Amino acid sequence: MSDFGTHNYIANLSIDCVIFGYEEQELKVLIAKCIYGDNLWNLPGGHILRTESIEAAASRILEQRTGLKDIYLEQFRVFGHENRILESKYRDILHAHLTNKYDESTANWITDRFVCIGFYALVDISKVNPQKGELDEKLELRGIKDIPEMLHDHQEILNYALEALRQNLDQKLIGFNLLPETFTMKEVQELYEAVYDREFPMNNFQRKMLQLGILERLEKKFTGASNKAPYLYRFKK
């Protein structure tokens, strides 16, 4: 029997995860290439067991796709248009493929209307071990400027996640794995510039960041003989 279906999961309710990481001064997102279709990508997602909370479902899906436990997750928006799946141009393609693998009622269940709860996660890319799901050909971390066309409304879901991250980046910095244990102010600024996709004036940025009161200044970072060595910071414990 297929794992999908109302015997295990809540029908018509799904979760999609926008998994952000930061690497080489670029904000990246984990996306999956579907085994169906020619070049069909989507956000990692899944369904909610009848016996688990929505947060537990999101954590489970995240662990299945990244190998990571205890990652901070935040719900940011529900996507509930009545036709977001039913009138998606990808629905018929998916349904035809699914009936080759599953019985008709399972294929119908998977491609029925779904209200989607969007969660985003911030992960340390170096620790991610991408794991394919049942319908994935492969997973990739892609720069947010390099996202291919995605299934259904997944680009819209990503856009909202990015907006939510931008709105609260100051508060979300703490303990969030987007930066190493210690870092220079320039590294924080590069992270902000990658997330917001714009430049910040340096002096202003440093003042604003210190005003947040979340950073602790450590020793200088001596990589050479320069007396211009930058200070290192870490998040206050």
Helix (H) or strand (E) holding 61: helix 54-66
Asked if 12 interacts with a second copy (CB under 8 A), we say yes
Asked if 51 interacts with a second copy (CB under 8 A), we say yes
Asked if 78 interacts with a second copy (CB under 8 A), we say yes
Asked if 52 interacts with a second copy (CB under 8 A), we say yes
- Report helix angle 185-196 to 154-167, nearest 10: 140
Strands 41-42 and 183-184: what pairing?
unpaired
**Amino acid at position 63, single letter:** E
62, 162, 78: which is closest to 117 by C-alpha? 78
Stretch that binds a second copy, among 43-51, 94-102, 150-158, 203-211 (CB under 8 A): 43-51
Stretch that binds a second copy, among 25-33, 112-120, 133-141, 174-182 (CB under 8 A): 112-120
Residues whose CB falls within 8 Å of the CB of residue 103, separated by 6 or more in sequence, listed in order: 2
Per DSSP, the three-state class of 172 is helix
Per DSSP, the three-state class of 1 is coil
Q: Which of 35, 68, 81, 155 binds a second copy (CB under 8 A)?
A: 81
Closest contact distance (angstroms) between CB of 53 and a second copy is: 5
Asked if 53 interacts with a second copy (CB under 8 A), we say yes
Closest contact distance (angstroms) between CB of 177 and a second copy is: 24
Closest contact distance (angstroms) between CB of 6 and a second copy is: 8
Backbone angles phi, psi at 134, to 5 degrees: -55, -30
Question: Interior CA angle at 174 toward 56 and 214, to 5°?
Answer: 150
Asked if 212 interacts with a second copy (CB under 8 A), we say no
Q: Which of 2, 8, 64, 75 binds a second copy (CB under 8 A)?
A: 75
Query: Judged by CB, which is closer to a second copy: 55, or 63?
Result: 55
- Site residues, a second copy (CB under 8 A): 10-13, 48, 50-57, 75, 77-78, 80-82, 113, 115, 117
